Amino acid sequence: MKEYVVIKEILNKRTSATDIDVSNYIGSLNKGNLLFLDDEDITGKIPVGGTSEIWKKDVNGHVVARDGVRLAHLSDNPAQYKKLKSNYNELVNIPDSIKMMKGYGVKVAVVDSGCFVKHRSLNPSILSCHNAMTGTADCTDNTLESHGTAVSGIIAGGQSLDSEIIGIAPMAELMIVKTSDVEDNVQLSDAKAALEWLSNLKDAWLPDIVNMSFSLAPGTVKENTALELVLEKLTKRGVVLIAAGESQDGIYSSKIFYPANTVWVSSVGAVDIPADVTKTLSPQLDYLLANIDYTSTCENQIYRHDLKGVSFGTAVITGIYALFISYRKKFNIKTDLMEMVNTALPEFNPFEISNNLKIYKR
């Protein structure tokens, strides 16, 4: 996979050079954004604008239209970001062959407080918006810490040259699903509505992963059963569900956050530094990493550098899964996904926990 810098004002991406319609539109790139393509993508799969124009390479390897007009420069220095502070893709402890996929071809639903979709680090990655509380496309993130926006940045931020971050899977596409209010509170009914909406999407729009960094107090047995039926439906349709489990002393409790504690969901725990080696971890946690400060996207084109908590650790695990799914799709690998991920990760060792992005399996 090669990296290019877009020089056209707006470059639309589609999955096919024919039959231009809404179903094959997969997003836009603005001037200065990064474009990642395999050689086969350049030979005719993706058109320009609203026409069936085909991209190709010129003698220097740059991306051009059929008439020779250059659309994107081949990047000689993929790391030439102007203000880069955090490259999460490089920091995680998985094989480089997996990292280099960058989440290409993977859709991630971020069920959270919405998103500031115009942020330069995120805009090229946004595929869709849905507000589960109102049934509209208004996904404005109006929480104090821009929670959903920050989570989205860690997963898939960084297609702009002046981005301060590169997410774990910067080429993944984000489906923003707003479920929480201005105080970042989530109601069980809204969570169910969000997940139900996702579960009813057609195959072409179904996400590969659902990231849930909210926590719920279990409601009535009836409500829980209804929500878990939706979780089961998503899982049976092949969707990976990842949720925030616990942080701080909560990782040693017998019961973690809901719905992370359900059988359908992979759960994440954030471990304080240093880890308490005298206590036993909750058996319900699947993945663990240090509870560190993150830099990520917030409202009005700014970044925050003091984001901390299991929500952001959950975004890291979601990004990791996006990389592995991208790799599996590219090479048509049939090995069980969770088995692939777990084989690549070390078992948790509390004595190793330090200020880094090393990820452990339970």
The SS3 of residue 316 is helix
For residue 221, pLDDT over 60 is answered with: yes
**Which residues partner with 174 through β-bridges?**
108, 126
Q: Which amino acid is at 239?
A: V
Lowest mean pLDDT among 8-12, 16-20, 315-319, 329-333: 16-20
Domain 86-361, classified CATH 3.40.50.1820, yes or no: no
Residue whose tokens read 């809901």? 258
Q: Which amino acid is at 141?
A: D
Predicted local distance difference test score (pLDDT) of residue 78: 46
pLDDT digits (tens, 9 = 90+) for 305-360: 889 999 999 999 999 999 999 999 999 999 999 999 999 999 999 999 999 999 99
Residue bearing the bigger pLDDT, 148 or 306: 148
pLDDT band for position 227 (cuts 50, 70, 90): very high
Task: Give the other-Cβ count within 10 Å of 205's Cβ.
Answer: 13
pLDDT band for position 185 (cuts 50, 70, 90): confident
Can you give the residue ranges of every domain in the chain? 2-74, 86-361
Residue bearing the bigger pLDDT, 33 or 226: 226
Provide mean pLDDT across the span 34-57: 58
Nearest by Cα to 32 from 67, 102, 101, 81: 81
pLDDT digits (tens, 9 = 90+) for 239-268: 999 999 999 888 998 788 999 999 999 999
Lowest mean pLDDT among 76-80, 136-140, 223-227: 76-80
Q: Which segments within the chain are labelled E, that is strand?
A: 2-6, 10-14, 25-30, 34-37, 56-57, 63-64, 70-74, 86-87, 107-112, 126-131, 165-166, 173-178, 209-212, 240-247, 266-271, 287-290, 293-297, 303-308, 359-361
Residue bearing the bigger pLDDT, 3 or 246: 246
Nearest by Cα to 210 from 250, 284, 155, 171: 155
The average confidence (pLDDT) of the chain is 84
Cis, bond preceding 170 (omega within 30 deg of 0) = no
Predicted local distance difference test score (pLDDT) of residue 41: 56
**Which residues partner with 304 through β-bridges?**
296
CB 6 within 8 A of CB 28: no
Q: Which amino acid is at 308?
A: K
pLDDT band for position 67 (cuts 50, 70, 90): low
Cβ partners under 8 Å of residue 193, min gap 6: 132, 133, 179
